[in-house]
Amino acid sequence: MAFDRSKYIESFKAEVRDLLQETSAGLLQLEKNPHDRSLAELLMRKTHTIKGSATMMGYKRIVDLAHVMEDAFEKVLKENLSLSKEQVDLLFKCLDAIEPLLDDKVTWSDKGIEASSVSNLCEEVKNLFSHAPSQAPQAVPQPAQGSQGIEKEVVDVSQKSSALQSAVEESIRVDIDKLNRLMNLTGEMIVGKIRLNELVQSLNDKVEGNKELDENLGGLTKDFNMIKNNMDRLSKSLQDEVMKIRLVPVSYLFNHFSRAMRDLARTKGKEIRFEIHGEDTQIDKAIIDHMKDPIMHLLRNAVDHGIEMPQARQEKGKPIEGKITLSAYREGSRVVIEVADDGHGVNIDKVKERAVAQGFVAQERLSDMVDDQIYQILFAPGFTTTDEVSETSGRGVGLDVVRDHIAEYKGMVEVKSKPGLGTSFLLRLPLTLAIAESLLVAAGTDIFAIPIETVMETLRVDPSAIKTIETKEAITVKGHILPLVRLSDIFNLPRKGIFEKRFLPVVVVQSVEKRIGILVDELIGRQDIISKAIGDPLKNVSNISGATILGNGRVILILDIASVIRSAEGVVIKKPSAPPKALVKGKKKTVLLAEDVLSTAMLEKSILEAAGFSVVIARDGKEALDRANQESFDLIITDVLMPRMDGFDFVASLRKIPFYKEIPVMIVTTRETDEDKRRGLEVGADAYILKKDFTSEGLLETIERLLG
Amino acid sequence: MTEDSKKIIFEVDDLENDDEISLTAYMRVLVFFVGQEQYCVDIKDAKEVIKVEHVTHVPGVPNFVLGVMNLRGEVITLCDLCSFLTLDASERPKELWALVTDVLGAPMALLVDEVKGAIDIEERLIQPPLATLGTKMSQYTRGQAQVGGEILIFLDLKKILTCEEMEHLKKG
């Protein structure tokens, strides 16, 4: 009788992936150490297990592949064979073929892949292992240097394989959602505990100095305090333990690379010894899962551009075999992953030269820059040294992608290099994404959290030091101009008596290269928060990256600094000193505002409403046109760049509607070419205002003129 | 009102004891008030009803989003059903209740005025939306049913929560 396999597919896939990785690691070791019978035995067992599981789940092609591999390993074991390079390559090819078979949904009936390629592969294995003369054990090529290191590695691995096995037996797979729920509940329990603490405290206050009451309660107060203290300890340990569940050893990812490095070195014709250190270092699975590409990029860079060709190394008197190390270690609350090579290092003079030539840095600034700052240029988007005919060519290509990727997981990249001795890239990552250290600030009546890694410093600014530069506010900090933005303006929040303060708190934040000062009403302090995603429909709301729940059970929002900086670059308007209230007489006039950037829309809306208009916001040209058809507006204000239908098309379509032939239309945009202005007036707009020249007075003046 | 709800529940009990129950198709719905009107939703769409205690305002979102709140450690969005139904929200009861639904997958909450409880209604009693309803409203309803002298408007939560404004918000 057929059983419902679908329930087990996910765990089957995960299990086979683990087995493939273990087999791959084992095969690498067997190649280096052909005499290790226990390794061949282990490999035979692993492939046998793959075969067994795949049989149960009906993945016939996988069964075939695993079967021939198992036979091959059995032969190695029984006949004491040493694997030739071709044989190893072929076995790796089989392993590679299994992985996609797992993901291919059609594989269920084995139709999706070219069946012939699998059977060919199986035939190849059979042939190579029955006919090919096996290499005599003594003929196994032993690398001239570094053999000691390899032997050491083998010891490590045989230990690891037994450790691996016990780890498998003693662990179970848990759905990440279950883990998140467990964490949520732990958080809620702590909220409850805080309430309990408050109650116990108020009980203590009542009892203190009231002996009679204390006696009447018969020691109850003491018991309560004991239970409270016990709960404090328990909940703290519980939270710590739950956090730890998310952590996995980096070996989980690192083991993937040994295989890739072997292939890379072979194709590049370089002799490379690849070492892994600190594979037991623990880190959040959600982070390490996404580090595969950046680490691979850095490793590839090290092979391509770091390590010299064997001959060049020999000339320099270095060991012919280059060394690339991938290591992980804890550093305070962070985990550092380091990719180091002993190649020729970054040529700092070349970087400087190129940086100036390509306009990344002004020549006169170079002398002020320390080496670390120079290395940071390597990460600038578009920076390249490829058109040079030098050994360093290619260094830096795509590093901006690596940095951005690391930044996404709240990490930083650092480069260290010594000419002639090598380069290392250090990825500093948080231990877990679940807990984020944040700065809590208040704006208006709301509290927000700012991720600490984006905070450069906090300042207290004298209001008179705030200058206005090109319609934007700014202050001068250590000789540099720092643009200022009020959180309450970005979010359109009520201001809370901010001008009465003698000093205003400013949080200096940075994202990528951009740095701004955020003016807040109050700095509350640093706090570890558990960041939580906000689900649909608010997942993509601008300026907010998530939320957290404070000890009192209240939700506060976490600022998305990159998006706040972008918003700050938009329209910044000084509030009208006295909104011209009586602008509109008689019936309230209605304005249709087509603007896709919500913060801009809200700002314009608030100005218009303050002037006595009633405002309807449409988020693109299409929506605006629909609204215009349904209602009769007295004035239309539109942006140009919008999704679905742009402002020009919207105005053009609008003018075709009889009612809107004479209704005033204004375009408010960042597009300042004459071509655009001409086009705007051509399609029928009455006024064209640039966002950069935008002031509330200017807007209202124009409206007054248009409405006559 | 209380009399009627008692009556409804009484009828339900009656029906459950009736042997002929299997002959008619019944649907269990959750009945609640928004303003003066009574509405209902398929009970399968309503995960739970919670008391709204603290709502955190989210800046820069449309009016129908009241903010986010804490549901046992999870941060969920609270929307105002009033705005979707274009009802006047000026008079609200002191105690606020929200209906938690997961029709979109992740849970979210909808503010309602008062929850009456669950009843079973005969599917054949559900009539198509009235022609007099506005176009927007008729899109959001699966019809209405007269139960015990009361008219229940049967809301389609999925339609409401996938309306154009909502989709726009989701895109950010």
Mean pLDDT of chain A: 78
Q: Which residues of A698-707 are buried (b: 16+ CB within 10 A; e: fewer)?
A: ebbebbeeee
Backbone angles phi, psi at A578, to 5 degrees: -140, 105
If you measure CA to CA, which chain A residue comes closest to B169?
A537
Cβ A536–B54 below 8 Å, yes or no?
A: no
CA A649 to chain centre: 37
**How far apart are alpha carbons B59 and A557 in whole angstroms?**
10
Cβ B106–A549 below 8 Å, yes or no?
A: no
**How far apart are alpha carbons A161 and B92 in whole angstroms?**
66
Name the least confident of A466-470, A582-586, A607-611. A582-586
Q: How far from B135 is each of A511, A616, B85, B129, CA to CA, in Å?
A: 46, 20, 11, 10
Say whether residue A206 is in contact with chain B using an 8 A CB cutoff: no
More confident residue, A656 or A137: A656
Instruction: Please choose, from the candidates A694, A663, A488, A669, the residue with its C-alpha nearest in 3D space to the C-alpha of residue A592.
Output: A663
**How far apart are alpha carbons A268 and B15 in whole angstroms?**
80
Count the neighbouring beta carbons within 10 Å of the beta carbon of residue A39: 26
Please answer whether residues A247 and A283 qualify as being in contact, where contact means their C-beta atoms are separated by less than 8 angstroms: yes
> Is A275 a residue whose pLDDT tops 80?
yes
In this predicted model, what pLDDT tens digit does every residue of A403-437 receive, in sequence order? 888 888 888 888 888 888 899 999 999 888 777 78
**How far apart are alpha carbons A381 and A359 in whole angstroms?**
12
Please answer whether residues A555 and B56 qualify as being in contact, where contact means their C-beta atoms are separated by less than 8 angstroms: yes
Say whether residue A557 is in contact with chain B using an 8 A CB cutoff: yes
Instruction: Please choose, from the candidates A574, A612, A575, the residue with its C-alpha nearest in 3D space to the C-alpha of residue A591.
Output: A612
Q: What is the pLDDT along chain B (172 residues), one digit of tens a residue?
A: 444 444 444 444 444 444 444 567 888 999 998 888 889 999 999 999 999 888 898 887 888 888 999 988 889 999 988 877 777 666 667 778 999 999 888 899 999 888 888 988 888 888 887 777 666 677 788 888 888 888 888 998 888 888 888 888 877 6
Please answer whether residues A37 and A15 qualify as being in contact, where contact means their C-beta atoms are separated by less than 8 angstroms: no
Instruction: Please choose, from the candidates A169, A155, A156, A72, the residue with its C-alpha nearest in 3D space to the C-alpha of residue A121.
Output: A72
pLDDT tier for residue A150 given thresholds of 50, 70 and 90: very low
Count the neighbouring beta carbons within 10 Å of the beta carbon of residue A11: 12
Tell me what pLDDT residue A267 has.
83
> Is A110 a residue whose pLDDT tops 80?
no
> Is A371 a residue whose pLDDT tops 70?
yes
Tell me what pLDDT residue A141 has.
42
The alpha-carbon gap from B145 to the nearest alpha carbon of chain A, in Å, equals 30
User: Whole-prediction pTM value?
Assistant: 0.54
**How far apart are alpha carbons A605 and A613 in whole angstroms?**
9
**How far apart are alpha carbons A655 and A650 in whole angstroms?**
9
**How far apart are alpha carbons A652 and A684 in whole angstroms?**
7
Please answer whether residues A438 and A558 qualify as being in contact, where contact means their C-beta atoms are separated by less than 8 angstroms: yes
In this predicted model, what pLDDT tens digit does every residue of A482-533 receive, in sequence order? 888 888 777 776 655 444 567 888 999 987 667 889 988 888 888 878 888 8
Say whether residue A183 is in contact with chain B using an 8 A CB cutoff: yes
> Is A139 a residue whose pLDDT tops 70?
no
Q: Which residues of A80-98 are buried (b: 16+ CB within 10 A; e: fewer)?
A: ebbbbeebbebbbebbebb
For B104, the closest of A536, A540, A555 (CB atoms) is A536
Which of chain B's residues have a Cβ under 8 Å away from the Cβ of A192?
Answer: none
Cβ A553–B169 below 8 Å, yes or no?
A: no
Count the neighbouring beta carbons within 10 Å of the beta carbon of residue A4: 6
Which of chain A's residues have a Cβ under 8 Å away from the Cβ of B100?
Answer: none
CA A152 to chain centre: 36
ipTM value of the model?
0.79
Cβ B74–A547 below 8 Å, yes or no?
A: no
**How far apart are alpha carbons A386 and A394 in whole angstroms?**
5
* % of chain A surpassing 90 pLDDT: 8
Local structure of residue A279 (DSSP, 8 states): T
Question: Helices A6-32 and A60-78 meet at what angle, rounded to 10?
Answer: 30
Say whether residue A541 is in contact with chain B using an 8 A CB cutoff: yes
Cβ A537–B104 below 8 Å, yes or no?
A: yes
The alpha-carbon gap from A532 to the nearest alpha carbon of chain B, in Å, equals 7
Q: Are strands A614-618 and A590-594 parallel, antiparallel or unpaired?
A: parallel
Tell me what pLDDT residue A143 has.
42
For A538, the closest of B61, B73, B164 (CB atoms) is B61
**How far apart are alpha carbons B139 and A537 in whole angstroms?**
20
In this predicted model, what pLDDT tens digit does every residue of A589-635 receive, in sequence order? 889 999 887 777 777 887 888 788 888 888 888 888 888 887 888 89
Cβ A537–B108 below 8 Å, yes or no?
A: yes
Give residue A210's region: left, alpha or beta (phi > 0; psi -120 to 50). Answer: beta
Instruction: Please choose, from the candidates A455, A578, A582, the residue with its C-alpha nearest in 3D space to the C-alpha of residue A526.
Output: A455
Local structure of residue A271 (DSSP, 8 states): -
If you measure CA to CA, which chain B residue comes closest to A493?
B59
**How far apart are alpha carbons A350 and A391 in whole angstroms?**
11
If you measure CA to CA, which chain B residue comes closest to A538?
B170
If you measure CA to CA, which chain A residue comes closest to B103?
A536
Say whether residue B68 is in contact with chain A using an 8 A CB cutoff: yes
pLDDT tier for residue A115 given thresholds of 50, 70 and 90: low
The alpha carbon torsion through A179, A185, A188, A190 (nearest 10 deg) reads -80
> Is A240 a residue whose pLDDT tops 60?
yes
Tokens 């795949």, residue located: A54
For B106, the closest of A491, A535, A541 (CB atoms) is A535
Tell me what pLDDT residue A471 has.
67
Which of chain A's residues have a Cβ under 8 Å away from the Cβ of B170?
Answer: 536-537, 539-540
Which of chain A's residues have a Cβ under 8 Å away from the Cβ of B68?
Answer: 534, 538, 547, 555, 557
Tell me what pLDDT residue A495 has.
58
**How far apart are alpha carbons B143 and A679 in whole angstroms?**
49
For A549, the closest of B73, B104, B168 (CB atoms) is B73
> Is A107 a residue whose pLDDT tops 50?
no
> Is A325 a residue whose pLDDT tops 90?
yes
pLDDT tier for residue A277 given thresholds of 50, 70 and 90: very high
The alpha-carbon gap from B107 to the nearest alpha carbon of chain A, in Å, equals 8
> Is A346 a residue whose pLDDT tops 90?
no
How many Cβ pairs closer than 8 A exist between chain A and B?
A: 99
Say whether residue A185 is in contact with chain B using an 8 A CB cutoff: yes
The alpha-carbon gap from A514 to the nearest alpha carbon of chain B, in Å, equals 23
Tell me what pLDDT residue A145 has.
42
The alpha-carbon gap from A83 to the nearest alpha carbon of chain B, in Å, equals 52
CA angle B121, B126, B128 (to 5 degrees): 165
Count the neighbouring beta carbons within 10 Å of the beta carbon of residue A188: 17
> Is A572 a residue whose pLDDT tops 70?
no
If you measure CA to CA, which chain A residue comes closest to B75?
A534
Residue A368 tokens read as: 């002020």
Backbone angles phi, psi at A567, to 5 degrees: -60, -40
For B56, the closest of A539, A555, A623 (CB atoms) is A555
Instruction: Please choose, from the candidates A62, A83, A61, A72, the residue with its C-alpha nearest in 3D space to the C-alpha of residue A133.
Output: A83
Tell me what pLDDT residue B108 has.
92
More confident residue, B12 or A367: A367
Tell me what pLDDT residue B101 has.
93
Cβ A555–B77 below 8 Å, yes or no?
A: no
Please answer whether residues A158 and A38 qualify as being in contact, where contact means their C-beta atoms are separated by less than 8 angstroms: yes
Cβ A184–B69 below 8 Å, yes or no?
A: no
Q: How far from A357 is each of A379, A381, A656, A667, CA to CA, in Å?
A: 16, 15, 53, 40
For A538, the closest of B54, B58, B161 (CB atoms) is B58
Name the least confident of A170-174, A286-290, A458-462, B64-68. A170-174
User: What are A410's strand-pairing partners?
Assistant: none
**How far apart are alpha carbons B57 and B78 in whole angstroms?**
10
CA A37 to chain centre: 43
CA B81 to chain centre: 8
Residues A57, A61, A67, A73, CA torsion sign: negative
Instruction: Please choose, from the candidates A346, A491, A91, the residue with its C-alpha nearest in 3D space to the C-alpha of residue B56.
Output: A491
The length of chain B is: 172
Instruction: Please choose, from the candidates A684, A677, A602, the residue with its C-alpha nearest in 3D space to the C-alpha of residue A636.
Output: A684
Which of chain A's residues have a Cβ under 8 Å away from the Cβ of B79?
Answer: 537
If you measure CA to CA, which chain B residue comes closest to A600?
B60
Say whether residue B171 is in contact with chain A using an 8 A CB cutoff: yes
Q: How far from A37 is each of A42, A74, A75, A346, CA to CA, in Å?
A: 9, 11, 11, 44
Which of chain B's residues have a Cβ under 8 Å away from the Cβ of A534?
Answer: 68, 75, 77
Say whether residue A99 is in contact with chain B using an 8 A CB cutoff: no
Q: What 3-state class would DSSP assign to A396?
A: coil
**How far apart are alpha carbons A361 and A377 in whole angstroms?**
9
